[in-house]
Structure 1
Amino acid sequence: MYETDKGKILMVDDEPNALTVLSAILSHEGYDVLKSDNVDYAIEILHKETVDAIVTDMKMPEKDGLELFQYVSKTLPDIPVIFLTAYGTVDSAVSAMTHGAFYYFIKPPDYVKFKSVLARAVEQRRLRREVEYLRRKLSTMDGGNHIVGNTPQIMQILKTIEAVKDSASSVLICGETGTGKELVARALHFGSIRRDKPFIAINCAAMPKELIESELFGCEKGAFTGAVARRIGKFEEAAGGTILLDEIGEIDPPLQAKLLRVLQEREIERLGSNKKIKVDFRLLSSTNRDLNKEIGVKFREDLLYRINVVKIEVPPLRERKDDIPLLVDQFLKEFCAREQKKPVGVSEEVMSVLLEHNWPGNVRQLSNVIERAIVLAKGKEITLKDIPEELWKGGQKAKTVSVKRTLKDLEIHAVREALQMCNGNKSLAARNLGISRKAFYKRLKEL
């Protein structure tokens, strides 16, 4: 599915010499270069070709690079855009970066750094395409439900799912409440060869302790008071499929011992019976606790080894805030369809508030906020009055802080990137940034 060449680059510049020189450099590096001396022709190319990155001049006759970037942002938002600009248009380039542009260079660029940045841009584009491919595969039979996000953490989760989905090995899914652990479990099942078999989810925290054993293993008539008929347990129900033990850390140690034996022998005994029944299932477990800290106290070490063959960590929403706009868009579509409302948008004020909030309830809390807003919204977009007051108290102040932070965020990004590109060499990083070593160390201390 994935190409082996370096990638396809669209160069846009009205200066023939600049276009020729840079195209030659990139072609020599192994890129397939498409050239255009104006924005309109560049857009025509984008309709015909699959492009991995765009490198565009900022100032051009008629339409400029900023207009091209705005078009790409709306129609092909996954394609990274790198600006080439003169000193007079630096402010425009910085503004474009705050709205999603990948990078900008002042003409003539440092070609070593330019090639490094372009390589990262192409890799990011390819990763996004790979994620979309994996996402389509993983959502085949799950009613369209899929994991939303393009951050590195989500990309890694999707890669892990793709790698282990058809394995019989147990998977432990860890993360705070509301992060979407069950969604990961469903992706593992419905993207696997077991997709046509049952997916059984058990919330161990919500089930009375005295009933969970019969719920898991089943019981015979008369096994205990109230057992008026034979009952099939969840492990039998999951035959050939997948069973998810949600919040497995809530199971008492005595039952953990029985669960361990089931995992080892792949057979169960219903309560009130001595007959062993062979069971075929794939076990997925989830927890919002650190089970390693509970070994020997609340959780058996040997059971943890059994369920933790593959571990998937689902990050809290506060650590993947770049995914919030994508999640909001998904929830808007979902709840507008359910409520039979025309599509609505989100005001800039509301989006600023959503991006500032730390979301202790994670994705589930964000979903609830958008659901409430859809129900209350009267206009074409969600405004501050449609979301809970505790989110936007001081909202205007939060928005101001967000704007003030923009330049600081860019500075942090630049320093980190310079260090990464120079393998931690601070002197070289300072030279690449065009500042003195003393000034660079001062920035490091401040940041």
Structure 2
Amino acid sequence: MQGHVLIVDDEPNAARVLSAILTGDGHMVSSVADVPAAERLLKSRDIDVIITDLRMPGKDGMQLFEYAVEHFPDIPVIFLTAYGSVDSAVNAVTRGAFYYFIKPPDYVKLKSMVARAVEQRTLKRQVAELRKQVAERDGAGRLIGTSAGMQKIYDTVEAVKNSMSSVLICGETGTGKELIARSLHYGSVRRDRPFVAVNCAAFPRELMESELFGYEKGAFSGASARRVGRFEAAADGTLFLDEIGELELSLQAKLLRALQEKEIERLGSNRKIKVNIRVVSSTNRDLKREIANGSFREDLYYRLNVVQINVPALRERREDIPLLITEFVREFGLNEGRSLRISDEVMKALVGFPWPGNVRQLRNTIERAVVMARGGEITFKHLPEEIMAGLDEQPLSSEPKTLRELEEEAILQALRECDGNKSRVAKKLGISRKTLYKRLDDLGM
């Protein structure tokens, strides 16, 4: 089984020999001379195995191992070490490293261990994907809301879910566009076929084409084995092109041709491969404006935009916020093994917050609050600082406020400043606790 191996070694000859051996075994190999370069590459490439020297100038292999454990825990790490540092390597293995070799290594055994490491990495990916699909089919991550905007989305999804027509999902970042794409797929007759998502903003131009269409061995430097692209991986299923507005013009032309002809060519090949997929795309841009600016092809826009779904921003469907908060508190509470509730004052304040990051920001806020809450209730002190600052900076209305509204604002402000402590709130407002409770009851708080 072939994979992408990262070699980290400050000895050029050793790295060159190992790279040649693994490339000859069919693996794609990237080689760097220090840990900072390795960390940068891990962020930009899909690595299956790390092989690292233990002792290097600056950061050493152990520090790279600790970085990988924290940020990429599923990538197996193999150590190369001299006799004098065997104890360190053994210690790393006890902490989760895949294997270690004493320099110079037994290359036959090393090739065998790399193959096993790649297989382990592949199995972990497959298990994670299966768990994700099961969770999606069981309703985890489902669309939530009863607002008019959400009802319109439900109706559209139900009407077009079994169609092969392309769907364009438009909306601000964080509104849940991918959830809608997944609902279209897992609610359709294609639910047992692949759902393949690709973020068009996540890959540089030179990698994006190979991600979409794949490549043949030898198509470019480092292409040591054939790779299937996202189009082929989504066979008979759904290909989700997230943030399609970020795609460069040259790739837009190739994408349009693939959609029109329903066939692709891998890089380095002139053999045409038929593809039968349903394409769903999303954007947070105004594509008509992009067309006018010359940065998006009009013909591709109409090819993708057979059916359009517009997702409202969270501030435009505030009636859904309590439902979302309740669901997120339940979900993250289960993850933490605790049952929590959110105070009425916090709920009211969060409903009034503008949520520039939309549902994603709300979800992250509730996740943090659940983790931070030590009792059974989420209060203002469990909210992030930026949310609290936003609550304090709500814009004043241009219309004069009623005495009731001013009284309500004063009580909410005092509740925030006193972390919901009623005794301190009453003292701050200069009223008795009994009067405070009566005011809260009268105001529906």
Rounded to whole Å, the distance in 2 between the matches of 1:326 and 1:236 is 39
Aligned to 1:175: 171
Rounded to whole Å, the distance in 2 between the matches of 1:177 and 1:208 is 20
Q: Which residue identity does 1:173 align to in structure 2?
A: I
Q: Which residue identity does 1:257 align to in structure 2?
A: A
Structure 1 pair 395/301, CA: closer, same or farther in 2 (3 Å)? closer
Q: Which residue identity does 1:339 align to in structure 2?
A: E
Q: Which residue identity does 1:304 align to in structure 2?
A: Y
The structure 1 residue matched to 2:387, chosen from 381, 391, 395, is: 391
**1:241 to partner: Cα distance:** 0.2
Structure 1 pair 393/229, CA: closer, same or farther in 2 (3 Å)? closer
The structure 1 residue matched to 2:283, chosen from 278, 282, 287, is: 287
Render the CA deviation track for 1:379-416: whole Å, top value 9, x for unaligned: 11100000023323485897x99x959889xxxxxxxx
Rounded to whole Å, the distance in 2 between the matches of 1:330 and 1:405 is 34
Structure 1 pair 378/190, CA: closer, same or farther in 2 (3 Å)? same
Output aligned runs, 1:210-225, within 5 Å: 210-225=206-221
Aligned to 2:193: 197
Render the CA deviation track for 1:299-349: whole Å, top value 9, x for unaligned: 0000000000000000100000110000001101111111222x1111122
The structure 2 residue matched to 1:206, chosen from 202, 206, 212, is: 202
310-319 vs 389-398, which deviates more? 389-398
**1:218 to partner: Cα distance:** 0.5
| Residues 204 and 245, structure 1, Cα contact 8 Å, conserved in 2 | yes
Rounded to whole Å, the distance in 1 between the matches of 2:142 and 2:403 is 33
Structure 1 pair 221/350, CA: closer, same or farther in 2 (3 Å)? same
Render the CA deviation track for 1:118-167: whole Å, top value 9, x for unaligned: xxxxxxxxxxxxxxxxxxxxx97255331000000000000000000000
Render the CA deviation track for 1:395-443: whole Å, top value 9, x for unaligned: 5897x99x959889xxxxxxxxxxxxxxxxxxxxxxxxxxxxxxxxxxx
5+ residue gaps, structure 1, are: 1-138, 409-447
5+ residue gaps, structure 2, are: 1-134, 407-445
Q: Residue 301 in 1 paired to residue 298 in 2? A: yes
Structure 1 pair 396/280, CA: closer, same or farther in 2 (3 Å)? closer
Deviating beyond 6 angstroms after TM superposition, the runs of 4 or more aligned structure 1 residues are 405-408
Output aligned runs, 1:334-349, within 5 Å: 334-341=331-338, 343-349=339-345
Q: Which residue identity does 1:361 align to in structure 2?
A: G
Structure 1 pair 404/185, CA: closer, same or farther in 2 (3 Å)? farther
Rounded to whole Å, the distance in 1 between the matches of 2:274 and 2:392 is 62
Q: Secondary structure at the match of 1:311?
A: strand
The structure 2 residue matched to 1:276, chosen from 266, 272, 276, is: 272
Rounded to whole Å, the distance in 1 between the matches of 2:279 and 2:380 is 44
Q: Secondary structure at the match of 1:231?
A: coil
Structure 1 pair 140/384, CA: closer, same or farther in 2 (3 Å)? closer
Q: Which residue identity does 1:241 align to in structure 2?
A: G
Aligned to 1:327: 324
Q: Secondary structure at the match of 1:318?
A: helix
| Residues 176 and 360, structure 2, Cα contact 8 Å, conserved in 1 | yes
Q: Residue 266 in 1 paired to residue 256 in 2? A: no
Q: Which residue identity does 1:160 align to in structure 2?
A: T
Q: Secondary structure at the match of 1:312?
A: strand
Rounded to whole Å, the distance in 1 between the matches of 2:368 and 2:273 is 47
Rounded to whole Å, the distance in 2 between the matches of 1:366 and 1:285 is 24
Q: Which residue identity does 1:195 align to in structure 2?
A: R
Rounded to whole Å, the distance in 2 between the matches of 1:405 and 1:269 is 69
Rounded to whole Å, the distance in 2 between the matches of 1:364 and 1:275 is 42
| TM-score, normalization by structure 2 | 0.57
Rounded to whole Å, the distance in 2 between the matches of 1:282 and 1:232 is 18
Q: Give RMSD over aligned pairs.
A: 2.5
Q: Secondary structure at the match of 1:219?
A: coil
Aligned length: 269
Aligned to 2:370: 374
